Amino acid sequence: MHSDLRPMEPDFPSSGTFVSSIKESCRIATVAAHIKVEDAAIRRLLESPSFQSSFHRVSGSHGLAFPLKFPSLLSELNFLSVLSLLNFASGYRVPLHEQTGRGAWDNIRAFTFSLYLSSATGQGDLLSAKGMKTMSEQQVAQHMGVTIHVERPHEKIPGLTVGELGGPIYELVKLISSTLIETGQILETSGYSDLGSFILESLKEGAKADPSASLGIVLERLVRAIPAFRDMAVVNGKPVYCFKKALFLIHAVKIRFGSSPPFHIPNTAQAPVFTDNVLPSLLVHLGVLDLSGATSHELHDLFPGAESEDRINTLLASPPEASQGVAQDTKKTPPKDGPVLTTEQAYLLRAAAVHACERIVQYARGDGQLSKEQAWLKDITLPELDIWLWAVAKDRPDYRKLERFVLRGTVFF
């Protein structure tokens, strides 16, 4: 694999264009990389038994219902904000499974719960700006319930092993610790007691704008203020903007508080998808992203056999019988890592997922292609499509086994 130099960071999009810049930069990157998204492939997905039978059931499985009693609205908003800030670690899914039996998102959720619960017992508020900026690696490891030591043989004494800091989980713990410290410092310097207070103020700024501009204003405030939300890169001399966690946060607020909003929440129905490693990988396996011509970054070799028509048709068919029992078994077997990517390859595939989902929703809303039974498709939103892709990847045992690409050392997904 060619060496992975960290790609340059582009300039921010110009003010007022944060949402459109995601969609446009991802479209340009997809086309330039020769990643194809054909109407026929979209139609095949939307008409498939897999999609038709699971969309309504699965697209509500967002994993944002918490068994916690919050003392105040702001406390819940802050919890949700920190959880979204830390919504990365996908590249460490396999080592996390080996240590804890859980994947990335479930580990991050459990970690954030632990910070919240220990704060509630009076050990200092770890979810405040002050608590975040003192978050040591040891504390992170302890609240995650992971070991950050690896064993190696002693240089001089045969048969003796020495434990030293290292390994993939230690790398992840360092990323979590540094993200919390950096964000806590920025919040405190800017006069915010916690991340939730900053988010609330950003939502209020969004409320002053025309409803169509509100999402972009909130997104822009988050990305400009907090480095861990600056999910963007220069690929082939062009900017690619994804801003996955900031978009996820705004939509998470919509899910939690949107039924009777206590403060203004932007409309997220047209928000770009929260692109990670699951969405593009699954869209490749389901035949929507065609990488066969994408030779410039060696993308065409990443998922061998994925373009086989038989394989795609099997995945798009109804789920295998008796899948519930099997799903339980597969949960016990740790997943296998997919191809390890460079940062640029990952940005290209993530951009392609953003673009493909835009195309899927446009197709579903287009006139004439859909039968009467499929009229409901005209109402699907991008976040619903996102959550369906993300949740269906765990829903079927054959989907759980599909390889997802891996990028380590990133705090963006």
Helix (H, G, I), strand (E, B) or coil at 96: helix
- Reported as a pLDDT band with limits 50, 70 and 90, residue 154 is confident
- C-alpha to C-alpha distance for 98 and 172, rounded to whole angstroms: 14
∠ at Cα 357 (355, 360), nearest 5°? 115
- C-alpha to C-alpha distance for 222 and 248, rounded to whole angstroms: 12
- In this structure, what are the phi and psi dihedrals at residue 241, rounded to the nearest 5 degrees? -110, 130
Between these two residues, 320 and 386, which has the higher pLDDT value?
Answer: 386
List the beta bridge partners of residue 240: 233
Query: What share of the chain has pLDDT > 90, as a percent?
Result: 77
pLDDT of residue 329: 45
> 171-185, 285-299, 372-386 — which is least confidently predicted?
372-386
Helix (H, G, I), strand (E, B) or coil at 165: strand
Strands (DSSP E) along 328-377, which ranges?
none
Which letter, b or e, does each residue of 5-24 get, where b requires 16 or more Cβ atoms within 10 Å of its Cβ?
A: eebeebebbeeeebbebbbe
pLDDT of residue 121: 64
pLDDT of residue 80: 97
Residue 30 neighbours by CB under 8 Å, 6+ apart: 37, 348, 351, 352, 355, 356
Residues 39-77: tens digit of each pLDDT: 999 999 999 999 999 999 988 777 788 888 899 999 999
pLDDT above 90: residue 376:
no
**Token representation of residue 213:** 């501009």
pLDDT above 80: residue 334:
no
> 46-60, 74-88, 102-116 — which is least confidently predicted?
46-60
User: For the range 369-375, what are the long-range contacts, defined as Cβ-Cβ under 8 Å and sequence gap of 24 or more?
Assistant: 369/43, 370/46, 374/46, 374/47, 374/52
Helix (H, G, I), strand (E, B) or coil at 160: coil
State the greatest distance between any 2 C-alpha atoms of the chain, in Å, as a whole number: 76
- Reported as a pLDDT band with limits 50, 70 and 90, residue 398 is very high
- C-alpha to C-alpha distance for 277 and 86, rounded to whole angstroms: 15
Between these two residues, 376 and 255, which has the higher pLDDT value?
Answer: 255
- In this structure, what are the phi and psi dihedrals at residue 140, rounded to the nearest 5 degrees? -60, -50
- Reported as a pLDDT band with limits 50, 70 and 90, residue 109 is very high
Query: What share of the chain has pLDDT > 70, as a percent?
Result: 93
- In this structure, what are the phi and psi dihedrals at residue 340, rounded to the nearest 5 degrees? -90, 125
pLDDT of residue 327: 44
pLDDT of residue 367: 59
Place of tokens 């095949």: 44
